[in-house]
Amino acid sequence: MTDSLLFIEWIRQPWHWAAGGAGIAAVVFLMTWMGRSFGISTSFKDICSLAGADKVNDFFKMDLKEEMWRLLFVLGIIIGSYMTSQWLRSPEPVAISQSTIDYLAGKGIAYPEADANDMGFFPTSFFNFSNLKGILLAIVGGFLVGFGSRYGGGCTSGHAITGLSHLQLPSLLTVVGFFIGGLIMVHFILPFLF
Amino acid sequence: MKNFSFLIVGILTGIVLTKSEVISWFRIQEMFRFESIHMYGVIGTAVVLGAAIIFLMKYFKIKTWSGTTVSYTPIPLSWKRHLLAGSIFGLGWGLAGACPGPMYALLGNGYWLFLLIIASAVFGTFVYGLIRDKLPH
């Protein structure tokens, strides 16, 4: 085997969390060095503006030329993820903990069978185009993420990663909010929705 | 041409988000149920290394491509706004199991429902723009 094939085999293995965190920190470094900051949710605002929302509301009036880099960045995320699914896919689905597997089994979500793509990324058995309940909840989830991230001025990348790296108190409070909302959803709402 | 460098960084980000498994709905469930260190390890490592990188870049006055040193424009402190907005986001994160970056990454991994979820997130952003004057900031 050549060295490059060995390298690809090595990358394909499931990553230790420290490697994942280091990878994200590398992205933070590159973006900062390139004069921008790591922020993804603003792309939703860009799409609003592209779709003509700037004619309805001044909030969406922006210089899209200044935002081209971000749209190319998210396009890159889609391409890089596709490449990973084709060439760097882990041999096994995500190894989540046994207690999470047991809990989800009790809710009718068998792991890893619930993901039709067998990667352990998303429960397609519940969230799919033929399950109306799944579609409605997916729409609600997407809406809350879009609304909340713009209201809070950023999402996980802008606040939890970039903002905290800059030691910002507003970002810390927003991240505390992420957990308040997430804990309420996962412990007190979602169990009754499946 | 500078803009296209961001396409390359985006591709790298797509690989990192997918391989670090932070895009997994199941990992998010596990995180909010405190049943694994994985997500805390990824985010914690990213923040500690990120903070060290930002500190060093500021300390050594590294010039960015914009020709300036590293700076950050803080948003005004507002407890109500941050906690409320964060909680709304968190409800969506716990439900859809994906924040914005992973939404794009899951689409790239072939989960087509994310076309709808991203459209819905764009709509949520639009609605925020319409009613933002009525919200506490």
Express each pLDDT in B74-127 by its tens digit: 999 999 999 999 999 999 999 999 999 999 999 999 999 999 999 999 999 999
Q: Could you give the CA distance from residue B137 to residue B132 in angstroms, rounded to a whole number? A: 9
Average pLDDT over all residues of chain B: 97
CB A74 within 8 A of CB A43: yes
Would you say the ipTM is above 0.85? yes
Give the span between the Cα atoms of A10 and B132, in whole angstroms: 48
Spatial contact of A80 and A54, defined as CB atoms under 8 Å apart: no
What does DSSP assign to residue A65? G
Distance CA B85, CA B83 (A): 6
**Cα–Cα distance list, A144 to A111, A141, B123, B125 (Å):** 26, 5, 10, 9
Q: What is the pLDDT of residues B1-52, one digit of tens each?
A: 789 999 999 999 999 999 999 999 999 999 999 999 999 999 999 999 999 9
Q: Is the entire prediction scored with pTM above 0.90?
A: yes
Which residue in the block uniquely carries the two structure tokens 């207690």? A99
Residue A5 has pLDDT above 90, yes or no: no
- pLDDT for B79: 95
Query: Which member of B5, B96, B109 has the closest CB to residue A81?
Result: B109
Q: What is the pLDDT of residue A158?
A: 95
Is A75 in the B-facing interface, judged by CB distances under 8 Å? yes
Q: Is residue B53 pLDDT above 80, yes or no?
A: yes
**Token pair of B97 as six digits:** 């199991």
Chains A, B: CB pairs < 8 Å: 491
CB-based contacts of A126: which residues, under 8 Å, 6+ apart?
A109, A114, A133, A134, A194
Residues A144 and B88: beta-carbon distance below 8 Å: yes
| Residue A57 contacts B, CB cutoff 8 Å | yes
Chain A interface, best mutation among B1, B4, B9, by max A CB count within 10 A: B9
Q: What's the rounded Cα separation, in Å, for the pair B103 and B114?
A: 6
Indicate the burial class of A34 (C-beta count within 10 angstroms; 0-12, 13-18, 19 or more): middle
Residue B66, chain A, CB below 8 Å: the answer is yes
Q: What is the pLDDT averaged over residues A134-156?
A: 97
Provide the pLDDT for residue B2: 85
Interface touch A79/B10, C-beta < 8 Å: yes
User: What is the structure's pLDDT at A1?
Assistant: 59
**Predicted local distance difference test score (pLDDT) of residue A3:** 81
By the CB < 8 Å criterion, does A62 face chain B?
Answer: no
| Cβ neighbours for B38, distance < 8 A, ≥ 6 positions apart | A17, B21, B27, B30, B31
Q: How far is CA B107 from CA A25, A122, B18, B98, B121, in A?
A: 23, 11, 11, 11, 14
Tell me which amino acid residue B67 is: G
Round to whole Å and give the CA distance between B28 and A182.
Answer: 9
Q: What is the pLDDT of residue A2?
A: 74
- For residue A112, give the amino acid letter: P
DSSP A117-180: TSSSS--TTTSSTT-HHHHHHHHHHHHHHHHHHHHHT--IIIIIIIIHHTT-HHHHHHHHHHHH
Both tokens of B127, joined, read 């609605």
Other CB atoms within 10 A of residue B117 CB:
28
